[in-house]
Structure 1
Amino acid sequence: MNRNQTKQMILASFFIALGIILPYITGNIAILGNRFLPMHVPVLLCGLICGWKYGFLVGFITPLLRAVLVGMPPLFPIAVVMSLELAAYGFFIGLFYKLLPKKFVYLIVSLVLSMLAGRIVWGIAAYLIYPLAGFPFNLEIFIAGALLNAIPGIIFQLIFIPVFLQSLIRTNTIPQFE
């Protein structure tokens, strides 16, 4: 294992830990978590900084591990569906960021596209898995859960993640944009 792989693994572990800890900011209150999306930020950052493979793994592991360790979110069906959603966020933002030119505008494009892809994955996963647990799921629930209720978290992510990434670039922690 080379130095870069070791660094990526350490960062991925840090992002998992952050994903487990950040929901305490909302007091583990599900409705606040659904609005502010505290587990999404570390996964998106991991995909950007460590790449799509680690972003995918961190996204998949974090909600499941948090459910087992803390009991929130409930393991089935919520954490299972979230693990698929967050895996999609980590995968797609890492992939888009890798493939698109390294310019600030494409960071925003990568972020928006990955948010859309993750919400689509969440909708499909919830449609297939929620009924197995007796949870209702329809278009209204999808729109409310994926868009309307999540507006504060979406706005926060669209502001915080680019600003945070810019600060990492300014400190030469990660390569700068062209």
Structure 2
Amino acid sequence: MRSSAEILIGGLFMALALALPQAFHLVGLGSAFLPMFFPIILSGYLLSLKISLGVALVSPLLSALLTGMPPLYPPIAFIMMAEGVVLVAGPYFFYQKLKINLWLSLVITILGERFVLLLSIIIISKWLRLSGVILGFSSLIKGLPGLILIFTAIPPLVLKLRQKIETSPLLSQG
């Protein structure tokens, strides 16, 4: 993909990562459906590591500064930044570089992201003097609807968007 097109698509994914959570938070479903993760994961599947890391790291921080969600304290925004790194590095390495099956790469990526979430919560719960087991378990369970949606929506979106990128004279190499 041309670098200017890749930057443009990265900007689009970042805008989506800022806008989608607002729609879900209006009805109180942001933390259940994980809306910021959708464009972040897509960037990992479709863009270079450098651009997708930008999307993953800047989106939660910018959203926190502009809207207060995710909060900076407790440091949910920073946890989401760590999760975002996994959500773009997994697809980039497993799918784009190692050519592992789309579904398997998504499973590995989500398992890695859930591990980072759990580890982050355990560390932060000790810092805040809370029960890490209860907090960690509730965080893992609360995101289940979003994970189901991710496994349902991301693979067909990746395939369709990759096809569009490869056939577009504006986006493809050349």
**TM-score w.r.t. length of structure 1:** 0.83
**Length, aligned pairs only:** 166
- 1:47 is aligned to 44
CA 149–59 in structure 1, closer or farther in 2 if over 3 Å, else same: same
| C-alpha displacement of 1:152 | 1.0
Distance in 2 (CA, whole Å) between partners of 1:137 and 1:117 is 22
- 1:13 is aligned to 11
**CA distances 1:55-90 after superposition (whole Å, capped 9, x unpaired):** 222111111110001111111311111111112111
**CA distances 1:10-34 after superposition (whole Å, capped 9, x unpaired):** 11111111100001221356x6212
**1:117 alignment partner, one of 112, 115, 121:** 112
Distance in 2 (CA, whole Å) between partners of 1:122 and 1:23 is 18
- 2:160 is aligned to 167
CA 56–170 in structure 1, closer or farther in 2 if over 3 Å, else same: closer
**CA distances 1:90-144 after superposition (whole Å, capped 9, x unpaired):** 1112111123336xxx101111111111111122223223444x26252332232
Query: Is the Cα–Cα contact under 8 Å of residues 126 and 132 in structure 2 kept in the other structure?
Result: no
Q: Aligned to 2:150, what secondary structure does the other structure show?
A: helix
What's the C-alpha RMSD, in Å, of the aligned pairs? 2.1
**1:145 alignment partner, one of 128, 139, 146:** 139
Letter in 1 for 2:150: Q
Query: Is the Cα–Cα contact under 8 Å of residues 126 and 137 in structure 1 kept in the other structure?
Result: no
What is the correspondence of 1:70-85 to structure 2 with a 5 Å cutoff? 70-76=67-73, 77-85=75-83
- 2:63 is aligned to 66
What is the correspondence of 1:21-40 to structure 2 with a 5 Å cutoff? 21-28=19-26, 32-40=29-37
Higher relative contact order (CA 8 A, sep 6+): 2
- Report sequence identity in percent: 29
| C-alpha displacement of 1:49 | 0.6
CA 153–174 in structure 1, closer or farther in 2 if over 3 Å, else same: farther
Distance in 2 (CA, whole Å) between partners of 1:16 and 1:135 is 34
Structure 1 stretches of 5 or more lacking a match? none
Letter in 2 for 1:70: T
Distance in 1 (CA, whole Å) between partners of 2:57 and 2:70 is 14
Structure 2 stretches of 5 or more lacking a match? 168-174
